[in-house]
Structure formats: C-alpha cells, structure tokens
C-alpha cells in the first residue's frame, strides 16, 4: 500500500516537473539529486536575490539559507506545486524579511559609489571606450534605482516576470495572492518603471 | 477593436504583447489597432524601452565556493544517524562520500568496541543457578571421599592383621 502511494506521488511529481521528482529522490536520501537541483537553480536563485536586495554578499547568504531550507525540508516535502514555485516562495520570503530587517541598508548607501559588485564585462575583442563604459554604468545605476524604488512585492513580481519568465499563475502562488492581484501588481510596477526608464530607449 | 488602454484589464493585453506573451491570434488584432492608435503606440514604445533597460542589468557570477560553503553548513547540521548511513546512500559528490567514510568507520569501531566490552563484562559472571548446583554437589563429593577413605582404612587394617609379620 505504502509502495503504491509512493509510486503515485512519484508519478504525479514526474508529471508535474522533473525537479519535483529529483526532490522526491532527495527525500529518499539521494544526495546526488540535491546536487543536481543546486546546480540547476543556484544561479537563478542568487541572481533573483541579488536583484531583490542589491548586495551580492547578502544575496549569496540568503541563497545559502534557501537551499539549506530546501534540504532541511526534504523529509516533509510533498510535490503539491512546481518545485520552482516552492523554491522561489522560500527565496522571496527570505528576501522580503531581509529587506524589512534592513539587512541591505548599507547597500543602498553604497549604490552611489560602489562598483565592486558590478559584473565584469566580457568584451575582450570589442573593448568599450571609457565613455561607453560610463554610459553603461549610468544606465545600470538608473535601472537599479528604479527597481529599488518599487514596493517590495511589485519588485519581486517584476523580477520573477522579467528574469525568471514565470507565468502569472506561478508568481501568484509564490506571492500567495490571486492571479488578478499579480496582474495588477505588475501593471502598476511597469507603469512606474515606464515613467522612470522610458527615456532610455 | 476598442482601445485597450480604456480599461486596466485590456491594458494587460498591451503588456503581454510587449513582453511577447500574447497568443499569436491576438497579436495581429492588436497590431492593427496600434497602427492607428497613438496612445497605444506610445505605451508599447515605452514598455519596450523598459524591457531593454532591464535586459542591460546583468549580475555578477555566483562565487566559486558557494556549493562548498553550503555543503559545510549542511554537514554541520546532519545527525549521527545520517553520518552512519551516508556511505550506503548516493553522495552529494564523490568528495563528500570519501569525507564521510572515516567518520562512519570510527562510528562502526566504537559500536563494535561497545558490544565487545559489554560481552566481556557479562560472560565471567556465573548464573545464580550454577552457584546453587555447586553448593549442592560439594557435600556429596566430600561424603563419597570420606566413605572411600574409611574403606581403605578397613582394608589396610585387615591386610595388617592377616600378614605373618603381624603374628610375630
């Protein structure tokens, strides 16, 4: 009976997504499957958290906590939703808490003068001029400030919509709200961003 | 087609169009409307500008030691039971498996030593029944030995009285 239930859950998970199936293997003690999940989602989680808190060190610390929580919850994991929905729900929850705790306050101050966390541009054969680089940095700062100015939930919704290419329904599940609420959040967020960034075209 | 910007619900169509998430059949209809509607054209232009500006925001790569730091934290939280069972489970990586082997071997040795010590401590102690049996056997043996000694005495006495030397 228990075997049949396990098989049924496994089949449902496989139908749902491969990540959920991997997580069920982790639940059964397969550490290698956890490694596969980490490899697959590490970058997207860290980048999402970085864009949320805008501090690379804090983002990585939060991402560690996300994967630690995933690992800790393995014994109680049930594939009731897409794995990424669950993963980003944990990530968003931690990011919102960090923002409310003011963990990244020092970061906001550093936005003015910090360049250490900016990605190194891989342009070995077409090296930009100093002017081009400065224009790029100014553009980047403007984007970062515009995103930072958004209310936290709008920010999370935009980042999941734009960079993770999530559907409205999935964002709704991550943010624990209705699909229409997500559409409304996104509409208002893009309205604000259009007002601030439309001139950059 | 009515202007999508008249209601927020319909304006969502424009947003989906700009983010390329609109169904193909709706795209053609919307594009015909955008061609004649200045407000929608401006909306689409500014939304595309936002989309491209956001595209420019690339992030730094994840630190090379991210995984090792995470596994260290996981290692710090596992129970002894997990450590014992890990060699028999698929590892996170080969390196992790080799790291856990000494711990598992040490745990096995401790377990075996414990079993042996307990066995040694229990084995020499005789059971109470055995003690009672010894107590009940000893008097019979002593009695039989005394009987045997008495018989030998009598026998030697007879031998002495029957010998010629004794008659002299």
Q: What is the pLDDT of residues B97-147, one digit of tens each?
A: 555 556 666 766 777 777 777 766 555 544 444 444 444 456 677 677 777
Q: Looking at the structure, do residues B104 and B84 belong to the same domain, yes or no?
A: yes
SS3 category, B91: coil
Q: Is the pLDDT of residue B50 over 50?
A: yes
Q: Report DSSP state, residue A74.
A: G
Phi-psi region of A55 (alpha: psi -120 to 50; beta: other; left: phi over 0): beta
Pick the CATH number of A1-107 from 3.90.45.10, 1.10.1740.10, 3.40.50.300, 3.20.20.70: 1.10.1740.10
User: What does the pLDDT read at residue B139?
Assistant: 66
Determine, for residues A143 and B86 on separate chains, whether the beta-carbon distance falls below 8 Å. no
Name the residue ranges covered by the structural domains of chain A.
Answer: 1-107, 127-201
Q: Are residues B42 and B83 in the same domain?
A: no
Q: Tell which CATH architecture fits domain A127-201.
A: Orthogonal Bundle (1.10)
Q: Is A60 on the interface with B (CB under 8 A)?
A: yes
Q: Does A149 touch chain B (CB under 8 A)?
A: no
Asked whether residue B42 is domain-assigned, the answer is yes
Supply the mean pLDDT for chain B.
74
Q: Which of A90-94, B152-156, B161-165 has the lowest mean pLDDT?
A: B161-165
Q: Are A62 and A98 in contact (CB under 8 A)?
A: yes
Main-chain dihedrals φ then ψ at residue B65, nearest 5 degrees: -95, 15
Q: What's residue A113's pLDDT?
A: 45
Domain count, chain B: 2
Regions of chain A with pLDDT less than 50: 1-2, 4-10, 13, 112-114, 116, 123
CB contact under 8 A, A43 and B60: no
Q: Look at residue B34 in the predicted model and tell me its pLDDT.
A: 92
**What is the domain range of residue B90?**
66-122
Give the pLDDT score at A22. Answer: 95
With an 8 Å Cβ cutoff, is A162 touching chain B? yes
Q: Which of A152, A199, A194, A147 is nearest to A175 (CA)?
A: A152
pLDDT of residue B90: 61
Range among A1-10, B45-54, B88-97 rated most confident:
B45-54
Report the residue from A50, A140, A199 with minimal CB separation from B56: A140
Put simply, whether A41 touches B (Cβ < 8 Å) is: no
């Amino acid at each position: 009976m228990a075997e049949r239930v396990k098989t049924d859950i496994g089949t449902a998970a496989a139908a749902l997504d491969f990540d959920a199936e991997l997580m069920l293997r982790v639940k059964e003690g397969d550490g290698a499957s956890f490694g596969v999940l980490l490899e697959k989602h590490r970058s997207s989680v860290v980048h999402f958290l970085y864009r949320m808190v805008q501090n690379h060190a804090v983002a990585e610390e939060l991402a560690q906590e996300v994967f630690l929580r995933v690992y800790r919850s393995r014994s109680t994991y049930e594939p009731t939703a897409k794995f990424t929905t669950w993963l980003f729900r944990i990530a968003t929850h931690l990011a919102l808490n960090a923002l409310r705790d003011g963990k990244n306050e020092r970061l906001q101050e550093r936005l003015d003068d910090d360049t250490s966390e900016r990605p190194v541009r891989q342009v070995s054969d077409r090296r930009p001029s100093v002017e081009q680089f400065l224009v790029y940095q100014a553009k980047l700062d403007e984007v970062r400030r515009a995103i930072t100015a958004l209310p936290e939930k709008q920010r999370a919704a935009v980042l999941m919509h734009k960079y993770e290419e999530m559907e409205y329904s999935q964002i709704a599940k991550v943010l624990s709200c209705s699909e229409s609420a997500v559409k409304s959040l996104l509409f208002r967020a893009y309205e604000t961003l259009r007002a601030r960034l439309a001139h950059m075209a | 087609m009515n202007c999508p910007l008249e209601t927020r619900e319909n304006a969502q169509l424009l947003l989906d169009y700009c983010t390329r998430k609109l169904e193909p059949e709706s795209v053609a209809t919307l594009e015909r409307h955008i061609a004649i509607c200045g407000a929608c054209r401006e909306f689409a232009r500014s939304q595309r500008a936002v989309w491209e500006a956001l595209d420019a925001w690339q992030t730094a790569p994840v630190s090379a030691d991210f995984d090792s730091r995470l596994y260290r934290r996981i290692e710090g939280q596992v129970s002894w039971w997990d450590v014992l069972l890990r060699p028999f489970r698929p590892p996170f990586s080969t390196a992790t498996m080799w790291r856990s082997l000494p711990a598992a071997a040490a745990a096995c040795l401790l377990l075996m030593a414990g079993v042996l010590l307990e066995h040694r401590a229990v084995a020499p102690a005789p059971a109470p029944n055995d003690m009672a049996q010894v107590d009940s056997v000893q008097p019979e043996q002593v009695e039989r030995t005394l009987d045997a000694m008495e018989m030998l005495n009598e026998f030697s006495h007879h031998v002495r009285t029957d010998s010629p030397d004794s008659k002299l």
